[in-house]
Amino acid sequence: MTQGTGPACLKADKLQGWPAQVLCHNENMMIRRIAGALGAELHGVDLTQTLRGEQQREIRDALLQNQVIFFRDQDLSPQQFMAFAQTLGQPIEYPFVKGLEGFPCVIEVKKLEHEKVNFGGIWHSDTTYLPQPPMGSMLLAKEVPPYGGDTLFANQYLAWEALSDTMQRLLDGLVGISSSAKADVSKTREDRIKSDGKDSAPQAHLAHHPLVRTHPETGRKALYVNVAHTAGIVGMTDAESAPLLNFLFQHQVKPEFTCRFVWQPHSLAVWDNRCTQHNPVNDYHGFRRVMHRITLAGDTPC
């Protein structure tokens, strides 16, 4: 991807109201960063249509460079949503919640008017308690509250790079213990498991992953711990690991590592779980928020 400004990159009539600097590939797709740390909106793409191979490569490049990408005004059916997901990876089923009828890999992420706890409402990278956590996740807004319900994202490349050399040497090589049963995240699933839970879902998942992982496509290192799922460190007692993990949990979501996305109906977010975390803000009690989510198969972190 190249950086450009002005008509050398985009037609002049498409630049009306845009910031001076716009990242782009061609005159048909505009890519605008939304924060200094990560995140970009992609404009000029209709995901209801079949994407050409060049478009697919450009979108994946944008994801790798920006870690989370956003689209507006994408009124996708579950079939169209799945078709787009398959251009980026292999959709997989979520362990605890069943998918839509006919679309087992598309789950409904919702908070209803009478509910107080939102699904996944804590900083996390998705399902790190699996042996091969998903490489990415996709969220499509179907119903949004009149205000609130934004999602925060945090850049874990920057979180790693901001650590001192001494701390980096300490962490590199340590292995974290990820669990699906930590109390703070378990309670965020309770409403959905009651309404949409899988009968065959196991009680808990457990996996071991490095605290620092190397991204298989970019080669960059990223912190790979999260307060929702990382329960300990292999070879350490709880008393030894807790202070270190608590420091990392606070460090990795500093404001300067984050961006914030304001949802609208038919907005779509795609994020790279290998180098980001996200946190849906639970500030819309009394209102309904309904999203469709797809997760994409990943590899074994190393």
Task: Work out the percent of the chain whose per-residue pLDDT is above 90.
Answer: 80
Task: Based on the residue annotation, tell me whether 13 is a catalytic residue of this protein.
Answer: no
pLDDT digits 0-9 by tens, 195-208: 666 565 556 899 99
Burial label, 222 (beta-carbon count in 10 A; 0-12, 13-18, 19+): buried
Mean of pLDDT over the chain? 89
Task: Based on the residue annotation, tell me whether 25 is a catalytic residue of this protein.
Answer: no
Runs of H (alpha helix) within the chain: 53-66, 78-88, 156-161, 165-171, 183-196, 238-251
Task: Based on the residue annotation, tell me whether 124 is a catalytic residue of this protein.
Answer: yes
Banded model confidence at residue 258, pLDDT cuts 50, 70, 90: very high
- The single residue of 33, 124, 189, 274 carrying the catalytic annotation is 124
pLDDT digits 0-9 by tens, 64-89: 999 999 999 999 999 999 999 999 99
pTM of the model: 0.88
User: From residue 226, how far is each of 18, 122, 201, 277, 297 by CA, in Å?
Assistant: 35, 9, 23, 8, 19
Say what the pLDDT of residue 4 is. 35
Say what the pLDDT of residue 67 is. 98
Domains of the chain are: 2-296 (3.60.130.10)
Which one has a higher pLDDT value, 123 or 11? 123
Banded model confidence at residue 12, pLDDT cuts 50, 70, 90: very low
Residue/partner pairs of 192-195 with CB below 8 Å, 24 or more apart: 192/96, 192/97, 192/108, 192/109, 192/110, 192/119, 193/96, 193/97
User: Where do we find the tokens 């996944």?
Assistant: 120
Q: What mean pLDDT is predicted for residues 45-63? A: 95
pLDDT at residue 193 tops 90:
no
Banded model confidence at residue 14, pLDDT cuts 50, 70, 90: very low
Q: What mean pLDDT is predicted for residues 137-150? A: 98
- The single residue of 126, 191, 196, 272 carrying the catalytic annotation is 126
pLDDT at residue 173 tops 60:
yes
Three-state DSSP class for residue 169: helix
- The single residue of 43, 209, 289, 293 carrying the catalytic annotation is 293
pLDDT digits 0-9 by tens, 114-128: 999 998 899 999 999
Banded model confidence at residue 96, pLDDT cuts 50, 70, 90: confident
